[in-house]
Structures are given as structure tokens and as C-alpha cells.
Amino acid sequence: MINIFFRNPTSEEIATIIGFYDPLPYHNGFHALAVYARAIDIAGRHIGEGGDANLSLVKWSALFHDTRYAFKRPTGQSREEYSASIAERYLDSLGAPQEFSIKVREIIIDGTHRDGHFKTVEAQILRAADLHTFSGEYPEFFAATLALYLEECALTGKVISFEEWKKNTAKVAAFYQAQDIHLSSRYYDPRGSSKWHNNLERNLELFQNELL
């Protein structure tokens, strides 16, 4: 666990941060609140089973992880890096310790960037919370994937065929399937298999048969 502390966000601050989100089909304020709630739940279960996690870092990182997703960023800066920089500046304005602000920035980049590497359990928790939708029930998976499809078309200004999107989804999912993020016993089914991987495979199989 990272031993750098700052207070939890207030309800007013949560409302302000949600206002930083763009009105997109998927990466919007509702997504941020869902990831925030899941991250707290995952961290709580991890801590309850004897693990360590800095819950304050988890909360602030989850709230900021996709801010200004559609905003035009400085050349060479990824969406994840831009969201992380917003978090760092906001926390600095609240008087958070500089080490805390920097660590939130690092957790957002490590936990949400596709090529990010988990240096901390807090980044693992953020990644698990962010991907949770895709290993849930199939209707939830389909709704999220369709929202991402519509969002990608809107952000790129290109018409992407749904068949192409299905192939792209399978390719991205294969990358995440290679990761092993087990933070509590809830990760496993009674046979000791990963519920996350099993559910994702089921959802992908169903999705490949979808017509739009």
C-alpha cells in the first residue's frame, strides 16, 4: 500500500469532477460514478481479505480517470495522460500533498492506459473497476460495447462497419484477457477458474453473433 494520504472527496467535489466529463455515449459522468463505486467495492473486498490498498488514492483516481475524454489534447499526449494531468492540477488546487497528486496521476495512467503496467495495487483496482462491465451479464456488455461503437464513430468522424467493430472488440479483449487481476476470492468460481475471464469469453462469443 502507498502510505501517502489525503482526505476523501466531498459530495460537492464529486459533482464538480463529474462536470469535467464530456457528454459521450460511454465515457461520461455515469461511467465515472460506476467505476468509482466499483473501485470502492473491489478495494473494500481486497482489504477485507487481508490485502492493503490506499482507499483515498483509489477514490480520487477513479473519479478522474476519463475526464475530458473528447477534448483536443496537446500533441503527443494520450487521453489517459490528459485526464491524469487534470487530476493532478485539481488536487494541487485543493492543497493535497504533492506526492499524493503525483501518485493519483501515475495510478490513472498505469491503470487505464492500454499499455500501462501495474506498479501498485491501486492501479490494479482501477483497471479491474474500469473493465468490470465487460465481464458482467451479456445485456450490460452489449450496451457498453454498442455505446463505445457509437462513440468511436462520433470521435473519429468515420463510419465504421459493425462487423469491423466486432473484430476490433475481439482483438482488444484478447489483450485484456491476457491480464490476471485477482484482488479477492470473488474473482474465482467454485472450480477455481477466473470468473472474469469466463464471463468475458461468453460475452465475446455471443457478441460475434450479433447483427445491427
Residue 1 lies in a domain: no
User: Which residues does the chain have with pLDDT short of 50?
Assistant: none
Residue 163 lies in a domain: yes
Q: Are residues 96 and 180 in the same domain?
A: no
- What gap in Å lies between CA 126 and CA 112, rounded to an integer? 7
Residue 3 lies in a domain: no
Instruction: Give backbone dihedrals phi and psi of 188, rounded to 5 degrees, phi first.
Output: -110, 150
Q: CB–CB of 43/53 below 8 Å?
A: yes
- What gap in Å lies between CA 16 and CA 18, rounded to an integer? 6
Residue 6 lies in a domain: no
- What gap in Å lies between CA 77 and CA 171, rounded to an integer? 24
Q: Calculate the dihedral angle through the C-alpha atoms of 181, 187, 192, 194, rounding to the nearest 10 degrees.
A: -60
Cell representation of residue 109: 495512467
The whole-number pLDDT of residue 181 equals 76
Q: Are residues 21 and 85 in the same domain?
A: yes
| Domain residue limits at 198 | 135-207
Give me the number of domains the chain comprises.
2
Say which CATH number the domain at 105 has. Answer: 1.10.3210.10
Q: Are residues 23 and 127 in the same domain?
A: yes
pTM of the model: 0.92
Cβ-Cβ contacts under 8 Å for 27 (sequence gap 6 or more): 21, 66, 69, 70, 151
Number of Cβ within 10 Å of residue 168's Cβ equals 14
Alpha helices by DSSP H, listed for the chain, are 11-18, 29-48, 55-64, 79-93, 98-112, 121-131, 138-156, 162-177, 195-207
